Amino acid sequence: MYLRALTALAESGIRTCSSEDLAVAAGVNSAKLRKDLSYLGSYGTRGVGYDVDYLRYQIAREIGVTQDWPVVIVGIGNLGHALANYSGFRSRGFRVVALLDADPHVHDELVAGVAVRPFDDLEAIVAEHGVAIGVIATPAVAAQNVADRMVATGITSILNFAPAVLAVPDGVDVRKVDLSIELQILAYHEQRKAHDAGDPAAVPGVEEAAL
């Protein structure tokens, strides 16, 4: 979050910022910001604030994004296209080296200048580019098989968009992005807000439970 906020500040030409400015940009309070940044050592100057580029570099170095990370995306349907077209990966140090799909109808299609290739090319691509991070954007039924193949090739970090729980060996990190669950959480809070505002019809069952 801090890196993203600092990048936005740098892109708008801001060279130094106060901890208050950075806290607002990152959506936290300044006490939390000072505590978080203290783990990096002190990079601020009293009365001047933070040097945006320097702090940006320090945070990027700490979380490992000063280097270029080659990434493969598997499953080039609706979501795979959107991810492949997302310019934010490149600007944050992630280079999409291959787009893979099992469906021959999409092979050779160019998405953001990268050709879609057969899923069976995975091993060769991982070996050629030293890929450590794979993105799964296939239907849920295919996700475990794709994860197994990724792990067998040496991929050790997986970003999974499919609504499936993946089993992976120790040493492999999986991060899951589940947009439906995020929406369900918002729906739950909406329901609570409607209830708190005195609309019992908004929460069927809650009134009954109270009785």
Ligand X SMILES: NC(=O)c1ccc[n+]([C@@H]2O[C@H](COP(=O)([O-])OP(=O)(O)OC[C@H]3O[C@@H](n4cnc5c(N)ncnc54)[C@H](O)[C@@H]3O)[C@@H](O)[C@H]2O)c1
Can you say which residues are annotated as belonging to the binding site for NAD(+)? 75-80
Backbone angles phi, psi at 2, to 5 degrees: -65, -40
**Residue from 8, 179, 181, 186 in contact with ligand X (CB under 6 A):** 179
CB of 166 to ligand X, least distance (A): 12
- Told to check if 152 binds ligand X by CB under 6 A, we report no
The dihedral region occupied by 140, where left means phi > 0, alpha psi between -120 and 50, and beta the remainder, is: alpha
What does the DSSP assignment read for 146-180? HHHHHHHHT--EEEE-SSSPPP--TT-EEEE--HH
Tell me the site size for ligand X, rule CB under 6 A.
23
79 counts as binding ligand X under rule CB under 6 A:
yes
Which residue in this structure is represented by tokens 């009293």? 46
Binding status of residue 185 toward ligand X by CB under 6 A: no
Q: 102, 114, 174, 194: which one contacts ligand X (CB under 6 A)?
A: 102
With respect to ligand X, which residue has the nearer C-beta, 103 or 207? 103
Give the nearer residue to ligand X in terms of CB position, either 44 or 75: 75
Q: For ligand X, which is the closer residue by CB, 29 or 145?
A: 145
CA distance 18 to 94: 29
**Residues that constitute the known binding site:** 75-80
**123 binds ligand X, rule: CB under 6 A:** no
DSSP assignments along 6-69, one per residue: HHHHHHTT--EE-HHHHHHHHTS-HHHHHHHHHTT---EETTTEEEHHHHHHHHHHHHT-SSPE
Interface ranges with ligand X (CB under 6 A): 74-80, 101-103, 106, 119, 137-140, 142, 145-146, 161-163, 179
